[in-house]
A and B are shown apart, each in its own frame.
Chain A
Amino acid sequence: ETGVTQTPRHLVMGMTNKKSLKCEQHLGHNAMYWYKQSAKKPLELMFVYNFKEQTENNSVPSRFSPECPNSSHLFLHLHTLQPEDSALYLCASSRDRGRTEAFFGQGTRLTVV
């Protein structure tokens, strides 16, 4: 148990569906992250939020829409995805300052059909 919880653990969605991934952290951190992990590719940083403000969007397509209503919660809204978007989506959190480790959730395994 890392203190970062992601739901759902598994999600299958059609290309025309709209779904959301949820992440919650109980560590008192102010920075939160979305990473994408595809087979045979390095972990890709998607978004960074610091004190609820988005500080980085790593050229992510607009069909992925993040939302950070407070420092403890992070969402990733999905719509009109493509099969190549199938991957493990990992949420992480860290302290807002300094170079320190991130704590990861268990991920959501997304399959787009």
Chain B
Amino acid sequence: AQSVTQLGSHVSVSEGALVLLRCNYSSSVPPYLFWYVQYPNQGLQLLLKYTSAATLVKGINGFEAEFKKSETSFHLTKPSAHMSDAAEYFCAVSEEGQGAQKLVFGQGTRLTINP
């Protein structure tokens, strides 16, 4: 079964600094990987996805992630943090189910932006 590990339940950066959120996966098949963002009292919104095409994936709000097979990683980055980036971020891997696929999520990383 696939699994996802997010290193660091809390990450704090200064406004304008680099954001790096770590995600490592375990999968017996070529993975499909996703990053979602959750703002307070909201559902999950897709930031970006990797589906075996380009290894560097660009998403919304200036975020991007790089798939590294050798490291089994899919870390999320943003060059310059903005106050509005404060949220919880989830990495997920898609697992084939009986008919419909299902997403397996990491435990989430809460990102705090300091002024």
- The A-contacting residues of B in range 12-46, CB under 8 angstroms, are 32, 34, 36, 41-46
B96 touches A50 (CB 8 A): no
With both chains docked as a complex, state the minimum distance between the C-beta of A95 and any C-beta of chain B, in angstroms.
8
Residues of B within 8 A of A97 (CB): 99-100
Is A12 in the interface zone, CB < 8 Å from B?
A: no
A104 touching B44 in the complex, CB below 8 Å, given contacts A42-B108, A55-B100, A56-B102: yes
In the complex, are the beta carbons of A103 and B100 less than 8 A apart? no
**Number of residues from B at the complex interface, CB < 8 A:** 27
Is B103 a contact partner of A102 (Cβ separation < 8 A)? yes
Closest to A44 in B: B105
Task: State whether A56 and B43 are in contact (beta carbons under 8 Å apart), knowing that A43-B90, A101-B34 are contacts in the complex.
Answer: no
Which chain A residues border B49 with CB–CB below 8 Å? 101
In contact, B99 and A33 (Cβ under 8 angstroms) = no
Using Cβ atoms and an 8 Å threshold, which residues of chain B touch A49? 100
- Of A31, A51, A107, the contact of B42 (CB 8 Å cutoff): A107
Count of chain A residues with a beta carbon within 8 Å of a chain B beta carbon: 33
- Please determine whether B101 and A106 come into contact, CB atoms closer than 8 angstroms: no
- Is the CB–CB distance between A2 and B107 below 8 Å? no
Contact B107 A98 (CB under 8 A): no
CB-CB nearest in chain A for B33: A99
Q: Does A81 contact B (CB under 8 A)?
A: no
Residues of B in contact with A (beta carbons under 8 Å apart): 32, 34, 36, 41-46, 49, 51, 90, 94-108
21 pairs, CB–CB < 8 Å, chain A vs chain B: A6-B43, A30-B100, A31-B99, A42-B106, A42-B108, A45-B102, A48-B102, A50-B98, A53-B99, A55-B97, A90-B43, A90-B44, A96-B100, A100-B94, A101-B46, A103-B46, A104-B43, A104-B44, A105-B43, A106-B42, A107-B43
